Chains A and B, each alone.
Chain A
Amino acid sequence: MIKRPSWAALLLALIPFAAMCFSVALWDRVQPVLLGLPFNLFWLIGWIVLTTICMWLAYRLETRAGGRRLDTAGRMPTPQAGRMRAPQGRNQPDDSSR
């Protein structure tokens, strides 16, 4: 009942992990100093920005794919239609604020 993310989106998400986490041995040094920053700090700051770009692409992919699946298979019901009772049974969501 949960829509799986697409492989393309997962691959896009793997890029920041590879760059900021797994490859640490390759970029953890002071030289070359860029814009006055040690290389490791410069690398991480750069990848914070690049991560946003990766995730923006993933967002585009996911919302497009999600929209298509929604239309054809109708697998994601509207929240109201699919609501059931909470585990302890006494907590109906409060609709007053909506």
Chain B
Amino acid sequence: MSSSSVALTIIFVIIAAGACLGFLAGARRKLNLEQWTVGGRGFGVLLVYLLMAGEVYTTFSFLGASGWAYSRGGPALYIMAYLTLAYVVSFFILPPIWELGRRHGLQTESDFFARRYGSNYLAAFVSLTGMAFLVPYVQLQFTGLGIIVEVASFDGIRRTPAMVIAVSIVAAFVLASGVRAVAWVSVLKDSLMVLAALAIGIGVPYAHFGGIGKMFAALAHTRPAHLTMPGATPNLGHAWYISAVLLTSLGFYMWPHSFAATFTARSGDIIRRNAVVMPLYTLTLAFVFFAGFSAVVALPGLANGDMALLTIVRSTFPAWFLGVIGGAGALTAMVPAAIFTLTAATLFAKNFYRPLFAPAMTDDQVARLARLMVVVLSLIGLFFAIYSSTTLVSLLLLGYAGVGQFFPGVVLGLYWKRATLSGVFTGLVAGVGAVAVLGLTKHDPMFGLNAGFVALCLNFLLAVGVSLVPLGRTRRAPGG
């Protein structure tokens, strides 16, 4: 067998094992809307941990993080800081969100907005925004999958057909088994991913330099500025780092899928304990960085930084090992892609379409519409993955700029009684508008700050300011 067929066979076996596990997990349960979206609210520490970890470690942390370590250098460190600090934030906002979810039967982030601010229009806007900004995150996963197959087949299989196959598998297992499948496939995916990261992070520097310390010494010698900020970029300095870390760590649990994962837990304490332990998981990322930094010296001049990790694995290890890494990477793209499409589809059917256009729909009809949307959203993600060439990290930063705008509405809604519908709605629309304008006019970063962070500040000011203006009847002070 040639190297490429060995690697591709192993990748295929790993994907098939993951898919079987997914179908089995969902096979023996009646799938109503509540089971499909929040697993019947019966997940314990382990499943919640797996589901949340399954969402966090995506193609982004695998190929994207090493890609930025390769192409940008120092600024990539923001990823380690924000993933750790996101859990610190979650410690304070998730338990009360879980509590409200339990009390009022909430299933989605938009349900929270509808309940707290008493407006289906706000909830519908949150749904559309969440859906829109999940698209780049889905696209990121599909692009990653394409890269994996392309590198593993030694450029024998083109990216596009590989992505089409992967997208069909993802959609099939979301349709068949819902959120429980995703949590169980995460077990396989995460064990493979951690092993792969350790093997790469230690093996690559040893093979090329004789050790991690020697690798950094060589890098500091050949590219002295690469390891600190702004690294290989003109404008990603310390101000950008602080603003990007703040935006992304505050925005982390504003992703509709992460928010909804909270509701799968059996108790609020499970979520708190999760927040204490999860930062340690970020340590895996250091090893992914080691591989990216090794490639700077060992494989300079790659046109696409996101291919650095797999290319250096290919030139360091035998083909079967490339297959294992590729398989781990493929699951790492497919599991999150499944969660994202499931969440976005539920948001569309339950919080946008039904309340605004078809209030008479039953839960079963909503579930059917959501399934149809899974297919539509997968196709949209696929379309962008085929026709766009943004780096993986830039795609994620775009997503964060959008969903981060939910933060004021959530945190003020939880902890500030005077937050009003008009205040939060104004802030949110202005924030999302600012993200769109700054993004489309290429003003990111702006004054050396992350554009999403600038929009978030505007959003916060307006939300608080307008809430304080007395508007008579439009003011609401409900809360669950």
Contacts and interface: CB of A to CB of B under 8 A. Distances in A.
Nearest to B37: A91
B104 A87 contact: yes
B104 A83 contact: yes
B64 to A, nearest CB: 18
Nearest to B229: A28
A72 interface: no
B318 interface: no
Interface in B259-300: 266, 269, 272-273, 275-277, 279-280, 282-283, 286, 289
Contact of B276 (A29, A55, A84, A92): A55
A52 B276 contact: yes
A13 B111 contact: no
A55 B271 CA distance: 13
B220 interface: yes
A44 to B, nearest CB: 5
Given A35-B213, A52-B277, A16 B91 contact: no
B324 interface: no
Nearest to B83: A48
A38 B220 contact: yes
Interface of B: 30, 32-35, 39-42, 74, 77, 80-81, 84-85, 87-89, 91-92, 96, 99-100, 102-107, 111, 114-115, 120, 123, 211-214, 216-217, 220, 224, 227-229, 238, 241-242, 245-246, 249, 266, 269, 272-273, 275-277, 279-280, 282-283, 286, 289, 350, 354-355, 362-363, 414-415, 479-480
Contacts of B32: 94
A40 B242 CA distance: 14
Given A28-B238, A86-B106, A21 B245 contact: yes
Given A58-B91, A91-B33, A37 B216 contact: yes
Contacts of A25: 238
A35 B121 CA distance: 55
Contacts of A62: 272
Contacts of A65: none
Contacts of B89: 13
B84 A24 contact: no
Interface residues of A, number: 56
Contacts of A30: 220, 224, 227-228
Contacts of A76: 99
Interface string A1-25: 1111100011001001100111011
B40 A94 contact: yes
Contact of A29 (B111, B114, B228, B354): B228
Contacts of B273: 59
Nearest to B32: A94
A16 B269 CA distance: 22
Contacts of B279: 48, 51-52, 55
Nearest to A45: B286
A63 to B, nearest CB: 7
Contacts of B213: 33, 35-37
B378 to A, nearest CB: 25
B315 to A, nearest CB: 23
Given A28-B74, A40-B77, A55-B275, A83 B103 contact: yes
Contact of A44 (B40, B80, B100, B275): B80
Contacts of A98: 40-42, 266
Contacts of B479: 1
26 contacts: A1-B479, A16-B88, A24-B242, A30-B224, A33-B213, A33-B220, A36-B211, A36-B216, A40-B77, A44-B81, A45-B80, A45-B283, A45-B286, A48-B283, A49-B283, A52-B277, A54-B88, A56-B276, A59-B273, A79-B102, A79-B103, A86-B106, A87-B114, A90-B362, A96-B30, A97-B42
Contacts of A87: 104, 106, 111, 114-115, 120, 123
Contact of B81 (A9, A21, A92): A21
Contacts of B277: 52
Nearest to B114: A87
Interface in A46-71: 47-49, 51-52, 54-56, 58-59, 62-63
